[in-house]
Structures are given as C-alpha cells and as structure tokens.
Chains A and B, each alone.
Chain A
Amino acid sequence: MARAVSNKTKTINTVIAGTLGVLMFFPILWIIILSFKTEEDAVRAPLEVLFQSGWTTDNFSTVQARSDYFRHFSNSVIISLGSTLLGLVVAIPAAWSMAFVPARRTKDVLMWMLSTKMMPPVGVLVPIYLIFRDTGLLDSRVGLTVVLMLINLPIIIWMLYTYFREIPGEILEAARMDGAGLKEEILYVLTPMAVPGIASTILLNIILAWNEAFWTLNLTAANAAPLTAFIASYSSPEGLFYAKLSAASIMAIAPILIMGWFSQKQLVRGLTFGAVK
C-alpha cells in the first residue's frame, strides 16, 4: 500500500468491487425491501416493486401478533451467548495447555476434536432425544445451551489454540519468574494478550450458535424455541407470503447481521485460524 495509487485505479477498483459487493448483498437487500411491501406488491415484477409501489410496516406487526418474536429472540440470545461463554470456560484451559505444554499427541488430540464435528446430527437425533427426555432437558434452554456448546467446542479450542501459539512463551516465563501462579498467568498475562483472538472466537461462535437450525428445532417446543423455530412457521406458503416471509427473515437475521456489521473489523482480524504467519 506504500505505493501511490492514482485515483483512476482506485475508482476502477471501487466500481468492480462495489458491483460484486452489491451482487453478494442483493438477496439480503431484496428481502429488506420486500418486508416493507404489501403481499400483493411483493410478487410484482422487480422494477414495479422498486418504483411503483408504496411502503408499509404491517408485515412486522402481523408477524409479531402471530408469533411472539421477543420470546424467540431472547431464547436465541440466551442460548447463543450462554453456549459461547460456557464453551470459553472449557476451551481456554484446554487451548492453553495444548499451546504452551504441547505433548507428543497434541496435534492428534486437536484433530480428533475436530473430527467429532463430522458426525451427522440426523443420525444421532433419536439417541439424544431419548437422553434429553429422561433427564427432563427437552425444551429447556439449559439443554440446548449445552448441546450447542459441545457442537462448537472443537472450533473454539482450535481457534484459541492458534492464537495462543502466537504468544511468545518467554513472556509467560518472565511472569512465572516474577512469582505468578498458573491462575495469575492465565488470567493476567495470557488472556489480555489474547483478547483480540478471544473476541473473534466469541463472535464466530455466536454466529454459528445463532444460525444452528437442526438441534434448536428438534429439541424444543415452546419454552426454549429460538428464532430458527420462529422461521419454521413461515417457511411454507399460505397464499401470498413473500412479504411476511421477508419480514420474519429480517427479524430473525437482523440482530446477528447488526452485530457482524459492527464487529467486522474484529472478525476480519481474528479469523486467521493460524493461517497467517
């Protein structure tokens, strides 16, 4: 970037990248637009939708009246935040020990952890359902939080591991020389240094947990149902339904989209998976 770049080059770059960006973003933009249209307008030709129809917020109130958005929303928040924090509690010590006290088998353990993610959920739903039934965890936020934590744990550990490895070991030794115990070492030396990495781990995990649509749908009924279940009641057409579906979709993805929007710098910086050296 040190080189001087002419404005002309910059403009050309902007035009090309901007076009591609708009294309990628277009489906989301389109449902935002449709969610403010009446059902009749939403199925008109694209140009008519854009230039020859009015705007309305009715869809959002219809959706809210039919399915309690805020209950689903708060479940989503609790479950995705809860599973992420719980995951961190388990993952930080594990990643620490793998990064700073590597054993001969560390890499194998890491790979084994990742491989637990390869089990197709559909194949083990019935066993898990039976376990949940017998432990009274069906339709509970606690049960769902634990499951999502377990699902994403391998990814959390791996991400943290790669960040921790980049922290020079000498700093830790210096801390130890100064009489820091293991707890202090992790809490006061390591964690602050790894904050950017931990932050992006948290972000990625919230996204993954928020969007998880298999377990959240199958292990809940009314009390613990998050936004993925909310969407399932709009997914088949009932007459004209594009506008309602758009409104429901926007309501389901907006929180995570906004979070991603504000934290994208962090996310970009953090999503390295040790890929950058």
Chain B
Amino acid sequence: MKLKKLLLSAGTMAMMAVSGSAWAEEITIATVNNNDMIVMQELAPKWEEATGNKINWVVLEENVLRQRTTQDISTNGGSFDIMFIGAYETPIWGKNGWLASLDDFADDAAYDLNDIFQLVRNGLSAEGHLYAVPLYSETSFTYYRSDLFEKAGIAKPTEQITYDQFAEMVSKVHDPENGVYGTCQRGKAGWGENMAFVGTLANAFGARWFDEQWQPQLDSPEWNAAIHYYVDLMTKYGPPGATANGHNENRALFKDGKCATWVDATSAANDVKNPANSKVADVTDFFQAPKQATDKGTGWFWSWALAIPASSQKVDTAKDFLKWATSKEYFQMVGETKGWVAVPSGTRASIHEDPRLLEAAPFAETIKNAIFSVDPADPTRDPVPYTGVQFVAIPEFQGIGNFVGQQVAAALAGQMSVEDALSASQDFAVREMTKAGYIK
C-alpha cells in the first residue's frame, strides 16, 4: 500500500511538472443542505468555467454531514477536499492538525482577509492560525410578528427585555384557535439543536456548564430555573410536537405564520424577510434575545465556514475555490442574481456597508450589531474555563450536549421531571468528564 501511494504521488508530481499549475482538477465538497449553501452550489459553475476545474458536491443533512466529515477527517480518509464545518469544530480540528492552514489568505490583497470581521476570524482560528473562512455567521435574536404585537397593544422593546417580560408578551399573542402559537423554540434534541437555545437561556439565568475545575454544574439552581422556565413556556405557548422541532422546522412554521415569536439564528432573517419564501416577510421584525439574571451569553455565536482537510491532495485548487466562495465578488454576485435580501450575513464589513444591501435588507445592521455584542471568550456570569457561548469548545461536549439535549427534550415531552432530567444530565456529564480525564 505504501508503494502504491508512493507511485501515485510520484505520478501526480510528474503530471504537475508537465502541465504546471493550470492542471484542471476535480474536487469533492461536503456541504449541508442549508439555503445559502444551495445558492453556492447553483453559482459554482461560474468558478468551474473560469478555472476549468470540476466540483463533485456531496450534499447531506446536517447531522449526517457532521458524522461523515468527522469520521473521514479523523481517520485521515481523504474523501473530501473541502468541508463545510462550524465554529465548534474548527478550533478543535485545527489544533489536532487536521486542517490546512489558511494563513496565506492574508497575503492576497484582492481577497482582503481583514475585511472579514475580526470576531469571526478569531472564532475560526486555533493557536493563532486561521483554519476556515466563513460563508456566514450568526448570533441569535428574537423574531416577532409586528402585526400581532400591535393588535395586542405591545410596543417593540427598545432595550433588552427579561425572559419574564418575554413570557408575558408571549401569553398575550398566543392564539392557537387561529393557528398562531405564542412562541416556537427548538425542542429537537441535539447539542446544535435544542441546546443552542437552551444554552443561551441558561446563560441568561446565570448558569454555566462547568466551574473553573471542570466540575459539571448541571444540577445548579440556575439550570433548574432555566429549564423550568423553558418547559413551562413551551408547554403553555408552544406548538404541539415541539420535541420534533429544530431550527428548520421552526423556520418553516414561522414563515408559514404559525408562530408569534421565535428566538433563533440571525442567519434565517434573509429567508424569513424574503417575500418569495415567506408569508410573513412584511410583518416580521426583530429585537435582542432576552436576558434574565445576566445579559452575558444571551445570544449565541455560530459560523458556517469552508475548510480544507490536511489530507486533501488538491489543496491549491481547494484554496482557490475557498477564496472565490467567500470573496466580496461572490457576495455581490449573490446579491445580483438572487436579490440582495438573500446575501449571507455576518462575514464581510464591506458587504454590510454596501448601500444595495442596506436598502434591500435594513435589518442587516441589526444583525451586525447583534453579532458584535457577542463574546465567546466571556460567555457567562460566573467564570468558566472554556470558550463558546452555546457550546463548550472541547471534543467531549458533543456527547454531553446531545445527552443533556435528550433529557431536556424528555422533560419537555413530560416524560420526566425537570429535576430528574437535570440530575441524570449531571451524572452523565460527571461520567464523561471523568472518562476523559478532566476530573481526577
């Protein structure tokens, strides 16, 4: 097998020597079936035409994608040349040496790396090296139906409200007889699903995942209060079957006019405000995600970004595509072909200042400010040893987050009490952290 590899690489080198760098290549991209990625897939033939390269798209649903890419990159499988990964994976994988460094993007004046928000670049770096470039980044804020609020006599909040005030508003707009539920929040179990919202909710209530010694804190009174609030709110004012609803399900419900409020990703705004896709485009407005005991960590931070596995044999071509797909020109092209309201947000300063964007999507400014208010390095009221707002940037978090997510979903479904759910979560987290050697 070694011989084969050697021969192969010798062959490739010979070919490269013959043809120079203009050799057309075929690259494989693993991507998720979110709207913005589908748009990229539609526009990519332009890059293919310009460079003569060819792209094989592997489009998978988010959970499957995450499992497939992690499995491939950790075993050095080399099936993909470019992967869509998130703000959670990037630093961990970068530190493991699994990703090709993108530091040389800084040397490309046309690409203008510094135009990408500093905060986002930091989130996609590890130990000072950049490992991924963002297609979009997001925080969470509150979507609400201005028509329903007006009818109920509620004014748009000008300052950050508390979750108690939020619950009161929700109670006034809850109208299931007419098919409108007071609030839709994520209920589908998973660290990237219900725990994203629940994590920020817990932060607001003053909770934290671990103390400074990595001791899990899930049985604390703060967590208890937060989960009680969540279950109570969703049981009273949520849609039926909430435990099956993740981001996409809620997005569909909201766009269909079935929800009066929804605290979720800013990146859905261009879709919700797009009259072509949404029934409520004209009557949707936004305000900050609520706070409670503290205003720290009340909005999450996430980014979908493109990275190149270190195992790829076609790093140069892959880098070329990365630059194209996150360039100023790309975002402008999306604006021109798909409408400026559809431009992915939260990446480039120049795009956020573009008058065409500000005219078509006035809410882009709100999104930018919301993203700037997040600090993943200081996410909680009490001190913590980790970074990350709605996640904890350690490899073990996925497992713990998924388990806790399941317990919270069980509490929401009424299958167990909040206390039992949290004590099971605490036990599990202690087990995992012991297993991994954090707790001696």
- Interface with A: B77-85, B220-228, B345-353, which one? B77-85
Q: Which of B39-76 contact A (CB under 8 A)?
A: 41, 56-64, 68, 71-72, 75-76
Contact-residue size bin, chain A (C-beta under 8 Å from the other chain): 20 to 34
- What are 19 A-B pairs at a CB distance below 8 A? A66-B38, A138-B77, A218-B68, A221-B28, A221-B30, A221-B80, A222-B28, A222-B56, A233-B59, A233-B60, A233-B61, A234-B61, A235-B64, A238-B34, A238-B38, A239-B35, A239-B252, A239-B271, A240-B252
Given A237-B249, A237-B252, A239-B271, A223 and B76 contact (CB-CB distance below 8 Å) = no
Given A217-B64, A218-B68, A139 and B252 contact (CB-CB distance below 8 Å) = no
- CB pair B255–A239 under 8 Å, yes or no, is yes
Residues of A within 8 A of B62 (CB): 236
Interface check A67, CB cutoff 8 A: yes
- CB pair B248–A67 under 8 Å, yes or no, is no
Residues of B within 8 A of A218 (CB): 68, 71
Interface residues contributed by chain B, number (CB under 8 Å): 36
Given A129-B71, A233-B33, A236-B248, A222 and B77 contact (CB-CB distance below 8 Å) = no
- CB pair B255–A136 under 8 Å, yes or no, is no
- CB pair B41–A66 under 8 Å, yes or no, is yes
Interface check A232, CB cutoff 8 A: yes
Cα distance A130–B71 in the bound complex, in angstroms? 10
Cα distance A67–B56 in the bound complex, in angstroms? 10
Cα distance A234–B61 in the bound complex, in angstroms? 7
Query: Which A residues form the contact surface with B (CB < 8 A)?
Result: 43, 66-67, 125-126, 129-130, 133-136, 138-139, 217-218, 221-223, 225, 229, 232-241
Interface check B17, CB cutoff 8 A: no
Residues of B within 8 A of A67 (CB): 57, 59
Residues of B within 8 A of A217 (CB): 64, 68
CB distance from A75 to the nearest CB of B (A): 13
B contacts with A: majority SS = mixed
Closest A residue by C-beta to B71: A129
Query: Which B residues form the contact surface with A (CB < 8 A)?
Result: 1, 4, 28, 30, 33-35, 38, 41, 56-64, 68, 71-72, 75-80, 246, 248-249, 251-252, 255-256, 271, 277
Cα distance A221–B33 in the bound complex, in angstroms? 15
Using A233-B61, A237-B248 as known contacts, list a sample of 6 further A-B pairs with CB atoms less than 8 Å apart, ordered by residue number in A: A126-B75, A138-B79, A139-B79, A221-B79, A237-B251, A238-B38
Closest A residue by C-beta to B279: A40
Residues of A within 8 A of B1 (CB): 134-136
Cα distance A237–B71 in the bound complex, in angstroms? 24
CB distance from A268 to the nearest CB of B (A): 36
CB distance from A161 to the nearest CB of B (A): 37
Residues of A within 8 A of B4 (CB): 136
Cα distance A124–B368 in the bound complex, in angstroms? 46
**Would you list the 9 A-B pairs with minimal beta carbon distance, nearest first?**
A222-B56, A233-B59, A221-B79, A236-B61, A237-B248, A235-B61, A222-B28, A133-B77, A233-B33
Given A138-B79, A238-B35, A223 and B251 contact (CB-CB distance below 8 Å) = no
Cα distance A240–B79 in the bound complex, in angstroms? 31
Cα distance A27–B411 in the bound complex, in angstroms? 32
CB distance from A59 to the nearest CB of B (A): 15
Closest B residue by C-beta to A217: B64
Residues of A within 8 A of B256 (CB): 43, 240
CB distance from A58 to the nearest CB of B (A): 14
CB distance from B220 to the nearest CB of A (A): 33
- CB pair B75–A129 under 8 Å, yes or no, is yes
Residues of B within 8 A of A138 (CB): 77-79
Residues of A within 8 A of B249 (CB): 237
Closest B residue by C-beta to A237: B248
- CB pair A133–B68 under 8 Å, yes or no, is no
- CB pair A222–B57 under 8 Å, yes or no, is yes
Of B38, B56, B77, B246, the contact of A129 (CB 8 Å cutoff) = B77
- CB pair A222–B58 under 8 Å, yes or no, is yes
Residues of A within 8 A of B41 (CB): 66
CB distance from B58 to the nearest CB of A (A): 5
Closest B residue by C-beta to A225: B58
Cα distance A237–B4 in the bound complex, in angstroms? 43
Residues of A within 8 A of B34 (CB): 238
Cα distance A234–B256 in the bound complex, in angstroms? 20
Closest B residue by C-beta to A235: B61
CB distance from A129 to the nearest CB of B (A): 6
Given A218-B71, A239-B277, A133 and B33 contact (CB-CB distance below 8 Å) = no
- CB pair A221–B277 under 8 Å, yes or no, is no
- CB pair B33–A239 under 8 Å, yes or no, is no
- CB pair A232–B64 under 8 Å, yes or no, is yes
Residues of A within 8 A of B60 (CB): 229, 232-233
Residues of A within 8 A of B277 (CB): 239
Closest A residue by C-beta to B255: A239
